[in-house]
Chains A and B, each alone.
Chain A
Amino acid sequence: GESVGLHLPTLSVQEGDNSIINCAYSNSASDYFIWYKQESGKGPQFIIDIRSNMDKRQGQRVTVLLNKTVKHLSLQIAATQPGDSAVYFCAEKGAGGTSYGKLTFGQGTILTVHP
């Protein structure tokens, strides 16, 4: 039988469309969140981060939205390009002085952009 976690959520979009990737996080006490992009054969690459005292942050072509009420994080990519095709991970950091920057990662979402 199939095991939980082997099949990642997928999102397919056309070049030029906007993409929205969602993430549900687990710890209501988390105070810092990051989105990473991972291309095949590479390590995770930092895209954008947001602190818990914010609900929106914008970067170049990317926007992160944080809804602490429902523990939901989303990454919006504007004018998606084929080079955006990758696996996208969200990560959360628990609050507190003993966290030492440790992150908890989601399973990831596969984004495929069709020319």
Chain B
Amino acid sequence: NAGVTQTPKFRVLKTGQSMTLLCAQDMNHEYMYWYRQDPGMGLRLIHYSVGEGTTAKGEVPDGYNVSRLKKQNFLLGLESAAPSQTSVYFCASSYRADNQPQHFGDGTRLSIL
């Protein structure tokens, strides 16, 4: 009954460091998404994937890379972290069929000093 699991839950980085956020879903969903959420703002789409081996840019992709080597996993990478990337990151997944809700993980809280 796990749904969407994100690791780590919290992380503090120094400017210029790199890291990878992991998202895993056990619902056999085809679509997966990475969002960032900043105070007082709605969720903004960073990158998404419509299937294993595919990725595409969302609304705010700069400074991030993603990979989907396995259907159940979607990785978000920061190659050189910047303070502007301090945010809460959410992963979501959904079925490929039309008009299906996205299901979210509980987020990764990332601070860049």
Q: List residues of chain A with CB under 8 Å of any chain B CB.
A: 5-8, 31-32, 34, 36, 41-46, 49, 51, 89, 93, 100-103, 105-108
Q: Which of A5, A8, A44, A101 has the most CB of B within 10 A?
A: A101
Chain B residues in 8 Å Cβ range of A46: 101-103
**Alpha-carbon distance between A45 and B105 when the two chains are bound, in angstroms:** 9
Q: How close is B68's CB to chain A, nearest CB, in angstroms? A: 13
Q: Count of A-B contacts with CB under 8 A?
A: 61
Among A51, A89, A102, point to the contact of B42 (Cβ < 8 A). A89
Q: Which of B31, B50, B101, B105 sits near A43, CB closer than 8 Å?
A: B105
Complex contact A43–B41 (CB within 8 A): no
**Contact present for A107 and B104 (CB under 8 Å):** no
28 A-B interface contacts by CB (under 8 A):
A5-B41, A6-B39, A7-B40, A36-B104, A41-B107, A42-B106, A43-B4, A43-B104, A43-B105, A43-B106, A46-B102, A49-B99, A49-B101, A51-B99, A89-B42, A93-B99, A100-B48, A100-B56, A101-B31, A101-B102, A102-B45, A105-B43, A105-B44, A106-B42, A107-B40, A107-B41, A107-B42, A108-B42
Q: Contact at B104–A45, with CB atoms within 8 Å?
A: yes
B94 proximal to A (CB < 8 A): yes
The number of chain B residues with a CB under 8 A from chain A is 28
Instruction: Decide: A5 and B43 in contact? CB cutoff 8 A.
Output: no
For B95, the closest partner residue in chain A by CB is: A101
Cβ B40 vs Cβ A6 within 8 A:
yes
Neighbouring B residues of A103 by C-beta, 8 Å = 43, 45, 102
CB distance from A33 to the nearest CB of B (A): 9
Most B CB within 10 A of own CB, among A32, A44, A107: A44
CB distance from B44 to the nearest CB of A (A): 8
Contact with A along B88-109 (1 / 0, CB 8 A): 0010101010111111111100
